[in-house]
Amino acid sequence: MGCLGGLALVLAVLGVLLKYQPVLYRQLAVSGGEDVEALSRRAVTKAAAWHASISRPGGWETALTADEVNAWLAVDLPRNHPRWLPSGVAQPRIGFLPQHVLLGARVGYGPLTAVAAMDFEVVLRDVNHLAIVLDQAHVGAIPLPRAPILRELSRRISRLGMVTDLRRLDGRLVLMVYIPSTHDAGATSYWLESLAFGAGELLLSGETRSTAANRPSPTPPPS
């Protein structure tokens, strides 16, 4: 009976910890006073304009607010792209702070759900070269090990055709991401030259070139 009572207590505490909704996730809800549908449409319009601009030679830039992205996640994603979310993941949210990207989502099925929240530091170290550090990761109030998450993120990014490398710098595990600049058999090259996260906003800019001959392609940093 004592063992059963102890087990019941452990399960009760675990349930409370998992049901806890991290403050980080609560802060990522759409906070703009505008209509959510309008914010979602604005996000789609900006994404389409950015895609069009990087498809032709010349400089390009775009800016997205967290409210616009969260409106798109709340409206357009479940309506038009429900298969984009992994099974068991719902209500994703995103936030931007200086040099940080905040991610959150509800994970699980039915009554067995909890909120997962992660805080990534993201820095553009050089053209097409990102450094990502996972500062925090929780499911409910339970902290998660960060190394396995970064390894899985590295695997998924590599599947997109990017080069990744996990290394330890200044006592922190850092995921290096190198974005190949040249595509289309060398006919077009893309250069991400600026990436800035501010309070609630993402700013990025770069250049598209019709040939890679005028500029040496960046190479991944040595391991």
pLDDT in tens, 48-87: 999 999 989 999 999 999 999 999 999 999 999 988 888 8
Phi/psi at 161 (nearest 5 deg)?
Answer: 95, 10
pTM of the model: 0.82
Token pair, residue 163, equals 């080069």
Q: How many whole angstroms separate alpha carbon 220 and alpha carbon 223?
A: 9
Q: How far, CA to CA in Å, does 143 sit from each of 26, 73, 117, 149, 153?
A: 17, 25, 10, 12, 17
More confident residue, 181 or 212: 181
* pLDDT exceeds 80 at position 218: no
pLDDT digits (tens, 9 = 90+) for 93-123: 999 999 999 999 988 887 778 888 999 999 9
pLDDT at 183: 57
pLDDT-derived band at 21, boundaries 50, 70, 90: confident
What 143-152 contacts at long range (C-beta under 8 Å, 24+ apart), as own/partner pairs, is 144/116, 146/173, 147/173, 149/118, 150/175
C-beta separation of 129 from 106 below 8 A: no
E strand residue ranges, the chain: 58-65, 89-97, 100-109, 112-126, 129-139, 142-143, 163-169, 172-178, 182-183, 188-198, 201-209
pLDDT-derived band at 16, boundaries 50, 70, 90: very low
Q: Which is it for the CA torsion 24, 26, 115, 105, positive or negative?
A: negative
Closest-CA residue to 191 (of 180, 209, 204, 207): 207
More confident residue, 110 or 157: 157
Q: Which residue has the tokens 């250069």?
A: 191
Q: How many whole angstroms separate alpha carbon 144 and alpha carbon 151?
A: 13
Amino acid at 143: P
Phi/psi at 125 (nearest 5 deg)?
Answer: -75, -30
> b or e along 72-103 (b: 16 or more beta carbons within 10 Å of the residue's beta carbon)?
bbbbebeeeeeeeeeeeeebbbbbbeeebbbb
